[in-house]
Structure 1
C-alpha cells in the first residue's frame, strides 16, 4: 500500500477545495473499495479526503412521500433505522444483506452508489424506487446517475450529498448471493409506486443495474409472481464470469422477480 495523507473534511466546500489542491487527491467515504484497491497497489492517492464527518451528509428522514438518506449513512445505520423500517422495510432489509458486520459498520450508502459496482445492492433500490440524487452541483434521476459499470454522472470534484427514495405502496428485494464474497450474483428489487410497478436488477447486467420494462408492464396488468416468471431475459445483455454464465443469470432474473413479488405481497 502506498503512503498517503489522511484529511478529515469539515464541510462540503472544505472537501472540494482540498481535492482541487492536489490532482491525485481522492474522496474517501467508507473505503470498502478504495482502501482495498490501494492495498493491491492499483491506486495511489496522495490525499484521502474523508467526507463522512460532514454534517450535510448525515441524517435519515421522511419528507412527504419520500425517504431522504444522507450519503454518509452507513449500511448498519440504514438497516437498523426505525425511520427506514417504517417507510421502506425492504430497503432496510437490503442494507442488512450487504457484506458482513465489519463492512456494514464502515461502508456508506453514498460510497456504494458513487462507486456503482455491478454487484452492489443499492443501485437496484435506487432504480426501483425512483431515487433522486442530490450532489454539490445539482440533482440526477437514477436513470441519469448510473452511466455504466463503475461509472456515474458524478464529476471528479462532485460530492453525493443525499438520496431521496419514493416511498412505495409495497416493495421487496430478493438477493442471490455469491457464497464466498456475499456480493450479489443476481438480485431483483420490485416496487409498486404511485405511477406503477418497477423492477430493477443488479449483479447481472453487462452494463450495470437495469430495469425490466416487460416485467413492469406485466405487473401493471397482474401483480402476481406468474406475471414475471414467464418473462424471458436475453442472455446477450447479461454478465458471464467464473461465478455464473450469462444464461444462468438470465434464468435467475425471472425466478428472483417472482420471489420478490411474493415477498412484497
Structure 2
C-alpha cells in the first residue's frame, strides 16, 4: 500500500511529465482513495476499463489516454459524466501519462516496440531532442533483413495484420517508429534516412508521401502499438513500487 501523493511523486520521478508540452494534463486527473493498494493499467480510460477496475476493487487506474484533451468540450455530461461518476463513486484515482509514456527510454511504448521487434541502438527521431524526450525513435536490426520478414516480425509481435506500403528498399536495416497516431512524422523518418517508418495510424496523404519519398511504411494500429507502455508500467508498479498491479487489455481493432 502507498499514499496517493507518494505514488504520484514516484510516477513523476520516473516519467518526468514536466519535460513535455502535451495535449492533456499528465498525472492525477481524478482524485480517489488516499491509500492505493491495487492498480489497473490500460491504454484508454474507457468505461470498459473502469468497470474492470471496479470488478477488481482497484484503488487506481493508470492509462496512456486519459481525459481533458485540448479542444474537447469542458462540460461533464454524457459519456464523460458516466466515466467520471463511476470513478468517484468507487473512490478510484485516475492517473494518465500521454507523451511521457510514449517517450520513456525503457518503459515507454516505443522502447517496448524496439525490444519486441528485435531492434537495437535507439536514437531520437526528433533530432533536436534527447532520446528520453523524443516521442519517436530510430533503431536498427543487427543486419539487414527483407521487408517481408519485417512485416512478419511486426505481425507476430503485435498479433494482428498490418498495412504495408512497400515504397522503398526491399532490404531493411534502419527503422523509425512512433506509436499511435504519428503518421505525420514520416518526413522526420526520411530525414533520418530510415528504410522503414512504422506507426499506428495512416492518413490518405501518408501513402502518397511514402511513395514520393520512396520510404517503406507500416501502419500497425493505434491501440496495438500503445499497449506495451501500460503493460510495462504495471510491471514497474508491482516490482519496483511494491503495489499490486494488473494490465488490462480492452480490445480495440483501431
Judge same fold: TM > 0.5, yes or no.
no
Scaled by the length of structure 2, the TM-score of the pair is 0.26
Scaled by the length of structure 1, the TM-score of the pair is 0.25
Q: Which has the higher contact order (CA 8 A, sep 6+)?
A: 2
